[in-house]
Amino acid sequence: MEKRTSEELTFSQRLEILIELLQRRPIRPVLEKFSTPQLVQAHNFLWNQMVEFHLRTQAGEFRREEVTRKMVPSAKYQRMQNCDLRIDYCKGIECIWSNTVCAGNKVKNNMEVMAEQIGEYLFQ
């Protein structure tokens, strides 16, 4: 059996995210419990779930922009945080390792948008 570190997003944590989504509850309380590496993994997990739910419930092709346009643009988020780093630090997730609070909040906000999108796919 493979040994897992405390930094990995566990199967039960993934289930917890899905349960909150299916019960139409906010996911932020679940996300607040995650370490930085787990938050990055949760973001990837949720994105993949969102794409899969789209493919299984929607007739049209998945378009990334349909979701990302609902998110706060990186440049605007940076201005809101009074951040003067290069925009590419915020556009990717490079800041997640150096400024965990700011970048973590941005990732959580984006994940809430993804959760809302999943809700639209499942409960429309």
Question: pLDDT, tens digit, for every residue of 14-53?
Answer: 999 999 999 999 999 999 999 989 999 999 999 999 999 9
pLDDT at 93 over 70: no
Take residue 34 and report the two structure tokens written for it. Answer: 């995650």
Return the pLDDT at 100: 86
Please return the burial class of 46, using the count of CB atoms within 10 Å of its CB with bins 0-12, 13-18 and 19+: buried
In the chain, what is the straight-line distance between the N-terminal and C-terminal CA atoms, in Å?
41
Sign for the CA dihedral angle at 33, 39, 45, 117 comes to positive
pLDDT at 2 over 70: no
Q: What is the mean pLDDT of the chain?
A: 90
Distance CA 43, CA 106 (A): 11
Task: Tell which wins on pLDDT, 103 or 65.
Answer: 65
Residue 5: pLDDT band by 50, 70, 90 thresholds? low
